[in-house]
Chains A and B, each alone.
Chain A
């Protein structure tokens, strides 16, 4: 119970300082818009093309925009040596990790939910046909990204070139989750139900989330304290 409260406290702290400076979220959102724009130039897609690539396009946008938010997660603690003070508090390291992860998760999900209708307008896609399953997909895929991203953000926090390092490490590990999320998103945007093959991909996402949540929680104390 106490642990749950400290998870919430850390998440609240990260959200509050991010919403005050808005550094990461502004950068992430405008980057997402730019990528949406570039895609329309790059592929000039017809309605049929868009139907096929919708999921891939969205998740490329989310993955790139996500890296900007996740990069900040532990980097935020660097300037005044705040990480030391957090590690010194009696909360378990995994509570610190989960708190920071939840903050990034909510920020990224917010960016995604704003991007979705914009994508719908730009590319003439009716994005709300399967809204709840789509929301579930976004949440699961984003959770996968935040787990690995936050863990790697902690991993690289004391390394020089940490901003460059995160994407190099993040995307390959994330690949299975991205595959699942892309397939599901494309199918749901095309009006498919959550059944058959889509269930397989849903299971893939859930499995991935469970495995990497467990792994991160188990290893974070080692990452932060050695």
Chain B
């Protein structure tokens, strides 16, 4: 049942994505000022939203673990963080490619880029610490606390960078202001597709995490004999 749900969700995500690719690449015309590269926006923004949703899931799951002490929550938090991290990476890479084409630079310390980079580093820390803790119960507890610490930082990071930026005006960056209404449907659909793919990856990771825990317990059984 669960298997089928995973396959269904994954397939649905990929189908929507393929349809979107067709629309984005073949049906939509080039943008007036940016040319072809504006299309990357259809992947850049949905990657960010998916990443943020994943990190929010990780926060809720972490709090859930601390309250209930059920490993399902810890597994979900770990899986969501990993997938969120991948999408955050994708967001930064696509952003960077776009920036190279439009601004002529790979990176600038603008408010959004910097915030995303710090967010990325926060969860990188989580992913580095997790495997360093041997005992699963301890790992789950400490990771959950770290995840809460990290998530609470996100809004503070965002505002602090804004204030910092007002002190150091960045090169004025022209982001496409009003979007052509025709671009909304593919954008929203792409958000859905990415979210579905993200959730599918998370489900797969859930299963792997469960199996890992089982292996750990079998090893302990073996030691006990």
Contact = CB atoms under 8 A, between A and B. Distances in A.
A and B touching (Cβ–Cβ under 8 A): yes
Interface in B150-196: 150, 152-153, 156-157, 159-161, 163-164, 166-167
B122 interface: yes
Given A179-B161, A222-B145, 13 more contacts: A155-B145, A155-B146, A158-B138, A168-B125, A173-B153, A176-B153, A176-B156, A204-B159, A204-B163, A211-B152, A215-B149, A219-B145, A223-B141
Interface string B109-124: 0000000001001101
A160 B125 CA distance: 15
B160 A175 contact: yes
Interface string A139-166: 0000000001001000110111100010
A180 interface: yes
A197 B138 contact: no
Interface residues of A, number: 32
B166 to A, nearest CB: 8
Given A159-B129, A173-B153, A197-B167, A226 B137 contact: yes
Nearest to A220: B145
Interface of B: 66, 118, 121-122, 124-125, 128-129, 132-134, 137-138, 141-142, 145-146, 148-150, 152-153, 156-157, 159-161, 163-164, 166-167
A208 interface: yes
Nearest to A203: B163
B142 A172 contact: no
A201 B157 contact: no
A73 B156 CA distance: 26
Interface in A169-186: 169, 171-173, 175-176, 179-180, 183
Given A159-B133, A226-B141, A201 B163 contact: yes
Contacts, number: 85
B113 to A, nearest CB: 14
B163 A173 contact: no
B137 A211 contact: no
Contacts of B141: 222-223, 226
Nearest to B168: A183
A148 B129 CA distance: 16
A37 to B, nearest CB: 27
Contacts of A165: 128-129, 132
Nearest to A174: B153
A223 B148 CA distance: 12
Contacts of B163: 179, 197, 200-201, 204
B157 A176 contact: yes
